[in-house]
Amino acid sequence: MKLGVVGLPNVGKSTLFNAITHAGAEAANYPFCTIEPNVGVVAVPDERLQKLAALYESKKVTPAVIEFVDIAGLVKGASRGEGLGNKFLSHIREVDAIVHVVRCFEDENITHVESSIDPVRDIETINLELILSDIEAVQKRMDRVKNAARGGSDKAAAAEYAFLEKLLAHLEKEQPANTFPVTEEEQGLLDGLFLLSAKPVIYCANISEMEMGPDEESLPNVVKVREYAERHHAGELTICAKTEEELSQMSEEDRAMFLEEFGLKESGLDKLIKASYSLLGLISYLTAGEKETRAWTIKKGTKAPQAAGKIHSDFEKGFIRAEVVDWETLLACGGLAGAREKGKVRSEGKEYVMKDGDVVLFRFNV
C-alpha cells in the first residue's frame, strides 16, 4: 500500500512524514523545500504478531508495511505548472490513496501561503488543482476516441465517449471523480483513466501541541475538516505532527506514558494506519510458526486461494484447503495442536472468504 502525503506548503506534511518513517525529510519554513518525493516504509503496528511470536518463539517477525511518499507542497495553479506543479501531480498519480494534511493551527512564526488559517479553503484549493488536471486528462482521452465513436459503428468507443462526456460534465462542476456515480462496467473505464481526484482521501487535521487532548475533536477547525470529509465520503483524523515527531524518538514506555498524560488512546500513526486500512478496504491474515510469524495484507472479500497467492503463486495454483483458526482462539489453546484437539481449527475450501485476524496454514499441491 502506497500513500501520498500532500497539502499546501507549511502545513506539516514533512514533519508528519519524519514522524511516521524516521526518514528525516527536511522540514523548512518555505515552500518547495521537498523537491523530489521522499519515500519511507513504516511497519504496521500489530499486537497480534508479538503475541503469536511469543507463543511460537518465532525467530523472525514480519509485520505488514505501508509506503509513505512525501510529495512537495502544491499551490494554486499547480495544474498549469505553477510551483513545479505538474511534476508533483505526477507523483500523486502513482499512489493508492492520498493523505491530505490540513493546517488547523495558528503560529505567527510559520508562514501560510494564503496568510490566514482556513482549512476548507485550503482543501478546496488542492482538490480543484487535482480536478483541473483530471479535466485535461479526460479531454485528451475524448480526442483519442472521438473518431472511432463517430457514427456508432464502434459500439465500445461510442459507449466510452458517452461515459467521458458525463464524467467531464461532473468534473467541470468542480466535483471530484471519486463522487461520480458509475456502474460496474463504467468502473473499469474510470479506473483506466488513473484520475487524481478518483483516489480515496484521508484528511489529517493538523493541530498544535497546546490543542491536544480529549477535547481536540471539538476544536472549530477540526470540526470543519470532519464535516467536509463526511460530505465527500472521505476519511479524516486529528493529528499533531510536531508531537508525532517527538513520539517517534521516544521509547515505547515513554510513548505510552506521554499518550496517557494527554488522555489519548493511541498515537496519530496508529490512527492513520487504521484509517488507511478502512478507507482502502484492507485486512490482514496471519501465518505463525517457529521460523516466522507474519502479517499478510489483502482486500476485504478475498477468497482463500487468492490469499494463499500472496505468499506464493504456487500456493494459489495448487490450493487444496486452508486450515483456519482465529488468532485469539489459537492463543487460548496454546497453539495449533491444542486448537485441533478442541475442534477449533476449521478446514476451509476455495470459496472461503478470509477474515481479519485469521491464522492460516495452507495445504497445496503443485
**Could you report the per-residue pLDDT of 30-75, keeping only the tens digit for each?**
444 444 557 788 888 888 999 999 999 999 999 988 888 887 656 5
Structural contact between residues 161 and 155, judged by C-beta atoms closer than 8 angstroms: no
pLDDT value at residue 123: 93
Point out which residues pair with 303 in neighbouring strands: 353
Q: Which three cell numbers stand for residue 95?
A: 499512489
Separation of alpha carbons 296 and 181, rounded Å: 32
d(CA 6, CA 13): 7
Contact yes or no for 357/326 (Cβ under 8 A): yes
E-state strands within 137-260: 201-206, 235-239
Angle at 126 between CA 13 and CA 278, to 5 degrees: 65
CB-CB contact of 251 with 219 (8 Å): no
Per-residue confidence (pLDDT) for residue 27, from 0 to 100: 44
Which stretch, 16-30, 59-73, 158-172, has highest mean pLDDT? 158-172
Write out pLDDT tens, residues 109-162. Answer: 665 666 678 999 999 988 988 898 899 899 999 999 888 888 777 888 898 999
